[in-house]
Structure 1
């Protein structure tokens, strides 16, 4: 067994111990022999590890029978676990060198044939040889881990609050960055610097959609010059330690908006507020989507709302629960997700309003508190 150090950029070890124990119990309840977790958000959730996935296998093996979990890791990648909770948890570290079959190491930790579930981030490069070694095709662990990752604990909620406050501070400075005559790319460069200055470890995404580009929900940036009269969508976010993300969108007008634009935006603002107001335990995800969608439809804007109302957020920017028609899951205290209806007029303009909210015992707590209206900047 190798000795691994600790890091301050993760939660206390007791949190990871509880998560691994609960994951093993849920796997047992699902009739599985174990969970196989390769690098990605699930591994970070369970172990606090930032290891990356390469051609050499790194895999956390959680037996469903309650035995101690193990990490199979290439010897030359041992350093990737130094910031994780592996050593403090007392996990068995089974390091290997080139020439050793790591898939056989994994299968040797479980019954044969083994009924296992794998993280959805596992590359096919590893999934196929693991299946052969285990004697059975694994299933996705999403159904097992979803129950854990969807409901955030107090430490995760605190991290999401910090992320939300940090990205709000960036939006508060938009008047410094977003000016007529600057290109979207120039605006985005300043926003990126501000995101880092406000405590994020990276700017995971920066969307500056000016004028007709605002009608593309996933436009990033271009060399288009911001013009007087433009409506500009700014959607920005990224992670704060230990890896929890912000994601907030506000829409700006370069000068006083056209009355028709202002009227349509007012409907969007009402729709976003209606969806947020509905959030509470027991309400379904699809009902929150409908709260925004139905209001927009009543004003003739159904066809220009082209995406779901929201997505879960945590270690991944997009994760469950998804706030979309057809998702009948009931919201529970501790769930965190975006509420972000938008309207998009192809070739003309677009608008979106997005907050991250956390479900509370009797409603929800938005972690973003910047004004929701169409913010007018000098045009």
Structure 2
């Protein structure tokens, strides 16, 4: 982390290394450089949480490794203070209304050259900025996704530490969930208690809360409602949020208010085995799609293939959902440092659903789960 009491970003050298790697990636791709506007890519590269407005803010990374430039409206200079921009030696070029910031970007990329240059831009750049930038550069930019994807997919030691802390924090929240699951309370009541617990256990804010009870548990993206909990309900609780410096937790556990009937218990046991076998299959050298297949095959063998209706997982970091995606057909090879969810689920519309989710990090010889709560169907006494 950054020195002193600042936990909102990493040490300066972490960002310096990322900027160098991004510039090298741009060079390998035959680009003149990268233009990164506010969003997760900018936060990843320099720790900036600047927001996108109608006035352009952009990090310009020349592919030749020369000094990065940040083009920023003068009235937004304060937004850079919490970032590592000055510490990594970037040149800050501010501008005021009436000036053309896109010309400043072009100058930072090509100096005095006038020929068109090909650059890559972050996929969050709005058309409001993309189109005038293309006009000034004389070429339509490409996406920087291919250049930045590998960097962001493979977490460094600082990121892995942050994900571990986020995982431990959300585990502490799940440990408290049974006390909130009282018959007669609404899903919204439970969600409000969980939201307080997420922040109390160390997250900076709440990213999402799913409390799906009874038939609502059969909707994988249900949030919460005024439905009241009942004895016999199976309840899916999927929760997460950012933990400074902004790395997300995401964990799902399934609860039963009172003892479940035998068929629910049988089907849940199959789901539990599918999730465990998928986690055990994670190791360097296998594909992301093969992990999805492991979970899906276990469920299919027990006649549950048709009720598993989504991918097995998604990458996680500064964004809750990012690459690599653990889905059929994804031939990306897993490498140490990749972090993603393993979360098969089963859903019976109109009746109930269940999901088990851990965040795992690929190690040199397998996988490390950052979530340690039991995977059993948690029975809440009534």
TM-based fold match above 0.5: yes
Instruction: Report 1:51-70 matches (<5 A).
Output: 51-70=50-69
Q: Does 1:155 align with 2:158?
A: yes
> What's 1:310 paired with?
313
Aligned alpha-carbon RMSD (Å) = 1.0
Aligned counterpart for 1:142 among listed residues 142, 145, 160: 145
Q: Measure the CA separation in 1 of the matches of 2:229 and 2:136.
A: 57
CA contact (8 A) 1:163 1:200 kept: yes
1:321 counterpart SS class: strand
- Cα gap change, 1:174/1:7 in structure 2, threshold over 3 Å: closer, same or farther? closer
* Equivalent residue in structure 2 for 1:194, among 197, 200, 218: 197
CA apart distance, 1:378: 2.4
Alignment of 1:96-175 (within 5 A): 96-111=95-110, 112-175=115-178
Counterpart for residue 374 of structure 2: 371
CA contact (8 A) 1:7 1:83 kept: no
What count of residue pairs does the alignment treat as equivalent? 374
CA distance in 2, matches of 1:247, 1:194: 14
Tell me how far apart the structure 1 counterparts of residues 7 and 89 of structure 2 sit (CA, whole Å).
18
CA contact (8 A) 1:36 1:61 kept: yes
Matches within 5 A, 1:270-285: 270-285=273-288
Secondary structure class of the residue paired with 1:250: strand
CA contact (8 A) 1:35 1:64 kept: yes
Tell me what 1:236 maps to. 239
- Does residue 15 of the first structure (1) align with residue 18 of the second (2)? no
Name the TM-score, length of structure 1 as normaliser: 0.97
Give the 5 Å matches for 1:218-229: 218-229=221-232
- Who is 1:257 aligned against? 260
Contact 1:7 1:82 in 2 (8 A): no
Gaps of 5+ in 2: none
Q: 1:299 maps to which residue?
A: 302
1:108: how far off?
A: 1.6
| Equivalent pair of 1:211/1:349 in contact (CA under 8 Å) | yes
Give the drift of 1:220: 0.5
d(CA) in 2 for partners of 1:235, 1:90: 42
Specify every segment of 5 or more residues in structure 1 that has no aligned partner in the other structure, as ranges.
1-5
SS at match of 2:285: coil
Secondary structure, counterpart of 2:72 in structure 1: strand
- Give the Cα–Cα distance (whole angstroms) in 2 for the partners of residues 319 and 139 of structure 1: 19
Structure-1 separation of matches of 2:76 and 2:241: 26
Aligned residues of 2:250 and 2:358 also touching (Cα < 8 A): yes
| 2:356 is the counterpart of 1:353 | yes
**Partner Cα separation in structure 1 for residue 7 and residue 194 of structure 2:** 27
* Equivalent pair of 1:175/1:377 in contact (CA under 8 Å): yes
Determine if contact 2:186/2:227 at 8 Å carries over to the other structure.
yes
For residues 228 and 127 of structure 2, what CA distance do their matches in structure 1 show?
43
Alpha-carbon distance in 1 for matches of 2:230, 2:135? 59
Matches within 5 A, 1:169-188: 169-188=172-191
CA contact (8 A) 1:340 1:353 kept: yes
1:7 Cα offset (Å): 5.0
Q: CA deviation at 1:91?
A: 0.5
Runs of 4+ in 1 over 2 A off after TM superposition: none
